[in-house]
Structure 1
Amino acid sequence: MAKLKHVLVVPFPTQGHITPLLKLSHCIADYGAKVTFVNTKSIHAQVMAATCGLDVGSDRIKFIAIPDWFEIDEGRKDPTNMVASHLRELIEKVKQQSNGNEDEQIGFVIADLTAGWALEVAERMGIERTGFWPASVSTLALVPHIPRLIEGGVIDDNGVVLKNDLTVISKDLPPYKSNDFTWNCPEDPTMQKILFQYLSSIPPYKKQSNSFICNSFHELEASAIGVILGALPIGPLIASARLSHLKGSLWNEDMTCLKWLDQHPTQSVIYIAFGSTSIFSPEQFYELAHGLEQIARPFLWVIRPDLTSRPITEFHNGFLRRVRNYGKVVQWAPQEEVLAHPSVACFFTHCGWNSTMEALSSGVPLLCRPYFGDRFLNKSFICDVWRVGLGVDADENGVTTRHEVMKKMLMLLGNEEIRANCPRVKEMARKSVSEGGSSPKNLQNFIKHLIA
């Protein structure tokens, strides 16, 4: 096999971005490339603490850290420039330690498009590079049209919707509803502004690489892939069993839930997980909990310690006592294994792209309750295009009530059309990653760029 370049991988420092890029890193390492995976110090520490048995110094993938943004004196320099400076120093350090061996030096950079400053560093240092997009291609297709939306008065300079119009960017794509905009965050206006600024910065970074890799597959998003030039779908990126200790999780996975699932009949358990960033008010949490309690079916619920905006210890403990005969709560779960388990009947989800891809790959119906960002557009595709799930609605106070949860959950479990569509999409995903499928072909074409 031809010698491959040493690849530096730079994710945006959150769970939903680290996970798919680490899976991609393992795919590249399978071809024989040496990979160095860069996290910020705090994220690196979390990954190391949550990953049992990880050999940090392995030849397969080396994990290293650069300073966190909050460690930087913002009064002196721009944090982004400072982080970029630390990345340059890292690349130079690797070069010095190589003792002139070009195979050991960084020869290629793969960076999350939302960490596009890393692509700038690579460009200035004369290193080949490509971007990675961790969300749907349909989500990215909207981003280049942000200036036109501002000029047309659809949104303001901070992404706030001014007109509730349908936005058509291509005859081949469904119109975008205003509440499906990628930066939408109705429960946190400050987060919406930050997200909008990040997304607005992507087009220039995207020009720094002729193509970009994405965690999707051609058969699922053919229209969007046709609209966005350079999209290279290699998904769904699913971790293999032998890499179960190398997922890059920021929390310890509670493996006891798999044995608990073993005790339940086929398609009997409701799985509930709202990702790594969703935050609920106590009122919203109460309604979700009461809804599950009233359904009275076996459920497995992932409740992070920071899932609610205020502590609800007394209610939480009382809830656990009431549902102890049929409900199990964990702080974090091995989600791919859970979704692949035959006892799981459906997935109550925040519609993050990683979760969506994992559910589609396992043929599990989805009940959708987005929190922010691309999750709203994902919900629209899940419910209206692929027709593999239903959405829950909020009342006039923005709360999804227990009655809504119970009603939609029972509708989902009894929906024959969705039950028929899920295996069809699952098979589509399986074929895409099988030998001769579209995704392996795209990955092999990309690997050619890594040949030294």
Structure 2
Amino acid sequence: MTIPNLLILPFPVQGHVNPMMNLSQKMVEHGCKITFVNSDFTQKKVMSSVTKQESLEESPTIKLVSIPDGLGPDDDRRDLGKLCDTVLSTMPSMLEKLIEDIHVNGGDKITCIVADVTMGWALQVGRKLGIKGVLCWTASATMFALEYNIPKLIQHAIIDFHGVPMKKGKFQISPSMPSMDTEAIWWSNIHNPTTEKKIFNYLVHCLQNLNLAKWFICNTTYELEPSAVSCVPKLLPVGPLLRSYDNANEIARSLGQFWEEDHSCIDWLNQQPHGSVLYVAFGSLTLFDQIQFNELALGLDLTNRPFLWVVRQDNKMSYPPEFLGSKGKIVGWTPQLKVLNHPSIAYFVSHCGWNSIIEGLSNGVPFLCWPYFTDQFYNRSYICDELKVGLGLNKDEKGLVSRWEIKKKLDQLISDEQIRARSLQLKETVLNSIAEGGGSSENISTFFNWLKS
């Protein structure tokens, strides 16, 4: 029997590479080989964040390869509109050449392409080369249902042909799903109309390949989003896709990271009282201006609690002179799942990216929600209003989340025993789905059996 050799292709940003690397690790555990395709730029970041690269080269099961994304080394890859343009004009032909080279040079033949939904064009490449395909959605099933129904949203005049909401208010994707605010239409939440149009057009292009996919794999569980999972055919919830901290292979496990993880924060957490620390992390793309950065710093002082704050290496802000920070630890990047799993962590101040939400829920940690863009606004309302395991931080009349708001909401969160209880209950539900016999675990087996056939 041939061992399935999957070509895994994430959209080249941290929040997509991570869960697809976790999926790769899961498939390796089931006996698959993986050819993981980064962009050249991403590959460089991933390799420089891993300290012991020698041990990587020897990994027989996950092979890291890369192709250009079409941007120059100094281009700003946070300009997602520009990135979408060059990905589409450059990567399809490069991917085709890569696969042909693998096959010509006697490498293991690629048996299936698992492409990020936002790299859906890859299934066209697969069809041309006679390789079957699957799409992987790295955000919530609800956001996938939203995209899946773009034609319907246009038809019902909820959005126009450029993806722009026609009017503010509530709408429903399907009668079985809760109604949603137009604020949840993630591609119109990027604070730049030109970029939003580019992303929407790119998205529509990728979605034209839905019919080529056997499955839509999604980083969620049926229990978390039953109505969304049920309203999209072929959707296979396999979440939570969590990184496994198997110490024997710690290096291979950090393969999806763009920045080197600072493990000194774990030693620091070991010295903090149980359930005392506020964990503050805003993902890989959030940017604050200096005024907002100051308010956050002074807000952390004001809470008078120990805090672990992730301030990325690309942050250009300076700390306000009156910031003490004496109760906290500031690091550039963390092994986040390990942090959230630590007994001293009490609450999570988060940008509400889906990976962070999945990791927070899997560890029973209540949220203070501070969304930045795209699907994060929907995720906030999902956490606060549907799951009721967190509180939202609100902006004042100047558009700032003030230090007083941070302190007020944290005090509220601390005094709400119900939120804590619901978080722990949800943790059990979510983790049961990946335990033996759980829904997500069964779905992974279904997928693997299909690959073997």
Shared fold per TM-score greater than 0.5: yes
State the secondary structure of the residue aligned to 2:280. strand
Q: Which residue of 2 aligns with 1:15?
A: 14
CA contact (8 A) 2:71 2:86 kept: no
Partner amino acid, structure 2, of 1:137: A
Distance change in 2, residues 1:192/1:228 (3 Å): same
- Mapping 1:167-246, distance limit 5 Å: 167-185=171-189, 187-242=191-246, 243-245=249-251, 246=253
State the secondary structure of the residue aligned to 1:106. coil
Superposition CA RMSD, Å:
2.0
State the secondary structure of the residue aligned to 1:174. coil
Q: What's the offset of the Cα at 1:408?
A: 0.9
Matched, 1:31 2:30: yes
> How many residue pairs end up in the alignment?
437
2:104 to 91, 96, 99: 96
| Greater shift in the superposed pair: 145-154 or 62-71 | 145-154
Report the TM-score when normalising by structure 1. Answer: 0.92
Separation in 2, partners of 1:25, 1:397: 44
Q: Which residue of 1 aligns with 2:76?
A: none
Separation in 1, partners of 2:439, 2:72: 43
Q: What's the offset of the Cα at 1:204?
A: 1.3
Separation in 1, partners of 2:86, 2:185: 28
Identity of aligned residues (%): 40
Deviations 1:269-291 (A, max 9, x none): 00000000111111111111121
1:129 to 112, 133, 136: 133
CA contact (8 A) 1:289 1:319 kept: no
State the secondary structure of the residue aligned to 2:241. coil
State the secondary structure of the residue aligned to 1:69. coil
Deviations 1:199-227 (A, max 9, x none): 33343122211311111111111111000
Separation in 2, partners of 1:391, 1:397: 17
CA contact (8 A) 2:40 2:66 kept: yes
Separation in 2, partners of 1:374, 1:202: 18
Separation in 2, partners of 1:145, 1:335: 33
Distance change in 2, residues 1:424/1:78 (3 Å): closer
- Mapping 1:308-347, distance limit 5 Å: 311-313=316-318, 315=319, 318=321, 322-324=324-326, 326-347=327-348
Deviations 1:249-282 (A, max 9, x none): 0001111101101111111000000000111111
Partner amino acid, structure 2, of 1:272: V
Q: Which residue of 2 aligns with 1:119?
A: 123
Deviations 1:103-162 (A, max 9, x none): x11111100010112111111111011000000001111113333434444333433333
2:300 to 285, 288, 292: 292
Q: What's the offset of the Cα at 1:71?
A: 4.8
Q: Which residue of 2 aligns with 1:68?
A: 69
Deviations 1:338-387 (A, max 9, x none): 00000001000000010000000000000101111111111111011111
Q: Which residue of 2 aligns with 1:5?
A: 4
Partner amino acid, structure 2, of 1:417: Q
Separation in 2, partners of 1:8, 1:377: 31
Distance change in 2, residues 1:206/1:137 (3 Å): same
Unaligned runs of 5+ in 1: none
Separation in 2, partners of 1:338, 1:194: 36
1:156 to 131, 154, 160: 160
Distance change in 2, residues 1:349/1:118 (3 Å): same
Q: Which residue of 2 aligns with 1:278?
A: 286
Q: Which residue of 2 aligns with 1:354?
A: 355
Q: Which residue of 2 aligns with 1:409?
A: 410
CA contact (8 A) 2:69 2:87 kept: no
Matched, 1:41 2:40: yes
Separation in 2, partners of 1:191, 1:276: 18
Matched, 1:268 2:280: no
Q: Which residue of 1 aligns with 2:310?
A: 302
Q: What's the offset of the Cα at 1:239?
A: 1.3
